A and B are shown apart, each in its own frame.
Chain A
Amino acid sequence: MEKLLEIQNLNVQFDIFGAHVQAVRGVDLELNIGETLAIVGESGSGKSVTSKAIMGLNPMPPGKVTGGKILYNGQDLAHASDKQMQKIRGKEISMIFQDPMTALNPTMKIGKQIMEGLIKHQNLNKHDARARAIELLSLVGIPNPDKRVEEYPHQFSGGMRQRVVIAIALACNPKILIADEPTTALDVTIQAQILDLMRDIQKKTGTAIILITHDLGVVANLANRVAVMYGGKIVETGTLDEIFYHSKHPYTWGLLSSMPRLHAKTDKLLAIPGTPPDLSDPPKGCPFAPRCPYAMKVCQDHMPDYTKVTDTQKTACWLLDSRAPKVEPPKTVVVGGN
C-alpha cells in the first residue's frame, strides 16, 4: 500500500485565557491511497483538531503547531504558508463538516458555492463550472439539479444540505476527503443515506477518507482502519477487525462496551465512568489511567510506549508489558455475538 499522507509526532496547542491547552500531543498517523481511516474518540480527545491541522484550519492564534510534520507529496502541511495551503485546500484535500445547517453561506446560491472552488482550482469559466456543479449535485443524489443550483441553502433539508456540502468537497476531485462527524447532526434515517453516499463516492472516485467520529456504528460501516484517540494521543490503531475483535486497550474496550447492541446479554449500557483529562495540565502518565479499571501504579506517572501487536496493530498500554498481570477483556466487548 502506498502512503498518501503521513503525520509525524504532531503537537497542537491552544493558548486560551492564559492556559496552554495541549489538544494534540505527539500524534503519528498515516493514510494510504483509497482507504478509509477512522479517528475515534470522545469530544475533546483531539480528533477534530488533528483533522483541522491537516487542512490548516485551526484558528491561529490561539492555536499553533508546536511540533511535528504533516507530509503530503513531500510537502510539510503543518508549516506551509497560507498561500501554499490555498492550493491544497479544496483541490488536494477537502473537508465535510458536522453541521450542514450552518456550513453553507445562507445568502449565496448553492450553485455558486460549488462553483467557487472549481473556478479557483480548475480555471473553469462560469458556464463550464455551472455544468460541473449540476453534475456534482446529481452525483450526490439531489433531484432536479439544474433547477436547484439556483436555490439558497434554506430551501434544502438537513440531509440535502449535507449532500451539497459533500458536493462542494468533491468538486475538484480531491485525493483526500476529511469528514468531521459527517452524520452526527442528522436524523438516523438520513445518516444511513449519507454513509451509503460516501461509500458509493469512494468506489467511484477512489478518494481516501479520514473519518472523524465518536460513533462506532459509523466506523463499522465505512472504515478500513481505525485510530482511537484519548487525551490528545492515539492509544491504539489497527484494522477494523483488529480494533473491533482483538483490541488490547482498556479504553477501546470501554468504547466498544458502551455501544448499544440489539441482542445484548444485559439490558444495561456500560458507560465509562469519569471525565476526560484537562489538557491545559495533561497527566504525566497514561491519560486514561484515572478512569481505567485495570490501572496500575506505573500508569499514573509513565506514558506507555506503543507495542506492536501485529503488523497493522499498535497499542499504547502497560498491560501489554511482560511484567503486567494478564487481563482478559470484559465479556461486553465481544461484538454482536460473533
Chain B
Amino acid sequence: MAAAQGEITQEMFEPVGADKKASEQISRKVVSTWGDAFRRFVKNKGALFSFFILVFIILMALIGPHLNNYGIYNQSLVRSNLPPKISALSWIPAFSGKENGVDIYQQRGVKQDFWFGTDQLGRDQWDRTWAGTQISLIIGLIAALADVFIGVVYGGISGYFGGVTDNILQRIIEIISGIPNLVWIILLILIMQPGLLTITIAILATNWVAMARIVRGEMFQLKSQEFVLASRTLGASDGRIIFRHLIPNSLGMIIVNTMFSIPLAIFFEAFLSFIGLGIRDPQASLGSLINNGFTILQIHPYQTIYPGLIISLLLICFNIVGNGLRDAFDPKLRR
C-alpha cells in the first residue's frame, strides 16, 4: 500500500460520484431455467453417456430387425441352438460360431451368420432381441403417456381444486395404491389374455399414481406461493394460473418423474414375460427371451446374455438419465 501511495497525485481527488451503471450492473450472466438445466445435464458425463447409449439402443431396436432377413418367427430345426457368429469378427471367441471348440456352423453345414445365435427352434436371436427391445420401448412410451395424461391431470385437478374433490380423488388413489401392482396385473390377466394389450391396460390403470401424488403436492405448494397469489389478485383466471404459472413451474419435476417411471414399467413387462404372464411365444420380449434361455443357461449361455445385457443397459441408462435430469432441475443446486 505504501508503494501505491506514492503514485497518488492531487488530480486524482477530483470527485466523480457514484457510477450508476457499474453499481447497478448484474455481475453474472442471466441464464434461463431451461438453459441452466440443459447446461448442467450436458456437464454430467455419466448422464450424457447413458443418454447416447439409450439413443443407440432405440435406433438399433428400430433398424436392427431390418439388417438381415431371417425374420422374428422363421423356424428351422437345422439351425437350432447355433452360437453367435460374425465372420468379420470370428477371431473373437464369442463371435466365432464355435462351442467348446467345435464349429457348430460347419458341423451343421449352415452358411449364413447369426450374429446373436439362434434359439431352440432355430429362430434368429438378433431379430428377436431387437423385436423384444421394441416391446420394452413401447411399454416405456405408454408409461410416460399414462404419467402425463392421467397422472398429471389427476394430480393437478386434485391439488388445484382441493377440498371435497381432492378428498374423493385421494381416497380413490389410496385404494388403488393399497394393492400391489402385481396383484392388479394378475387380476387383469385372469380376465383377459396375457399380452401387450393386457400389460398396457394394467400400466394405464396403476402406473400414474406416483405422478398424481407428486403433482398434487406440487400444486398445493405452488398455489399458495406469493407469485400465484399476486397473479390471482391481478384477476388472472384459473386457466391462466394453471397454464402460465403452475404447469411451467412443475414441468421440470414432471419430466424427471416420467423418466423414473419408464424403467419401472419396462422392468414390469420383462418381469411378467419372464414368469410367463406377459408377452408369450411366438412373440418376443426381452423377459420371455431370458426365460427361454434360462432353462439351457448352462449349455448355451449366449441365449440369455444378449437380451439380459440389453434390458439391464436399458434400465440402468434410464435411471442414470433420470438422476441426471433430477440434478439438473433441482433448484437447490442452482447457483
Contacts and interface: CB of A to CB of B under 8 A. Distances in A.
Contact of A295 (B5, B11, B18, B24): B18
Interface stretch (A97-105, A119-127, A157-165, A286-294): A286-294
A179 B201 CA distance: 61
Contacts of B16: 295-297, 300
B17 A294 contact: yes
Interface in A247-298: 273-275, 278, 281, 289-298
A323 B11 CA distance: 9
Contacts of A302: 4-5, 8
Contacts of A303: 1
A230 interface: no
Given A273-B18, A296-B15, A303-B1, A291 B23 contact: yes
A93 B24 CA distance: 39
A296 B13 contact: yes
Contacts of A16: 335
A274 B18 contact: yes
A139 B12 CA distance: 58
A3 B4 CA distance: 32
A202 B24 CA distance: 42
Contacts of A217: none
B22 interface: yes
Contact of A291 (B5, B10, B18): B18
Contact of B15 (A273, A294, A300, A323): A294
* Majority secondary structure of chain A interface residues (helix, strand, loop or mixed): loop
Interface residues of B, number: 23
Given A274-B18, A290-B18, A294-B17, A323 B10 contact: yes
Given A273-B24, A318-B13, A298 B19 contact: no
A273 B20 contact: yes
Contacts of B26: 275
Contacts of B298: none
A289 B20 CA distance: 11
Nearest to B22: A290
Interface in B4-57: 4-5, 8, 10-20, 22-28
A318 B4 CA distance: 13
Contacts of B1: 303, 305
Contacts of A294: 15, 17
Contacts of A278: 27-28
Given A17-B335, A305-B1, A323 B22 contact: no
Contacts of B18: 273-274, 290-293, 295
B89 to A, nearest CB: 44
A281 B22 CA distance: 14
A286 to B, nearest CB: 12
A329 interface: no
Contacts of B24: 273-275
A324 to B, nearest CB: 5
Interface in B90-148: none
A24 B1 CA distance: 18
Contacts of B15: 294-296, 325
A291 B15 CA distance: 13
Contacts of B19: 289-290, 295
Given A297-B11, A297-B13, A318-B13, A290 B4 contact: no
Interface string A32-73: 000000000000000000000000000000000000000000
B88 to A, nearest CB: 46
A321 interface: yes
B334 to A, nearest CB: 11
Contacts of A296: 12-16
Nearest to A327: B15
Contacts of B17: 292-295
B15 to A, nearest CB: 5
A321 B335 contact: no
Contacts of B25: 275
A305 B23 CA distance: 23
B92 to A, nearest CB: 44
B14 A297 contact: yes
B180 to A, nearest CB: 31
Nearest to B4: A302
A273 B13 contact: no
B161 to A, nearest CB: 30
A325 B1 CA distance: 22
A297 B12 contact: yes
Interface in A10-44: 16-17
18 contacts: A273-B18, A274-B18, A274-B23, A275-B26, A278-B27, A281-B27, A290-B18, A290-B19, A292-B18, A294-B17, A295-B19, A297-B12, A297-B14, A298-B12, A305-B1, A323-B10, A324-B13, A325-B15
Interface of B: 1, 4-5, 8, 10-20, 22-28, 335
Given A17-B335, A291-B18, A298-B12, 20 more contacts: A273-B20, A275-B24, A289-B19, A292-B17, A292-B18, A293-B18, A294-B15, A294-B17, A295-B19, A296-B12, A296-B14, A296-B15, A297-B16, A298-B13, A300-B16, A302-B5, A305-B1, A305-B5, A318-B13, A325-B15
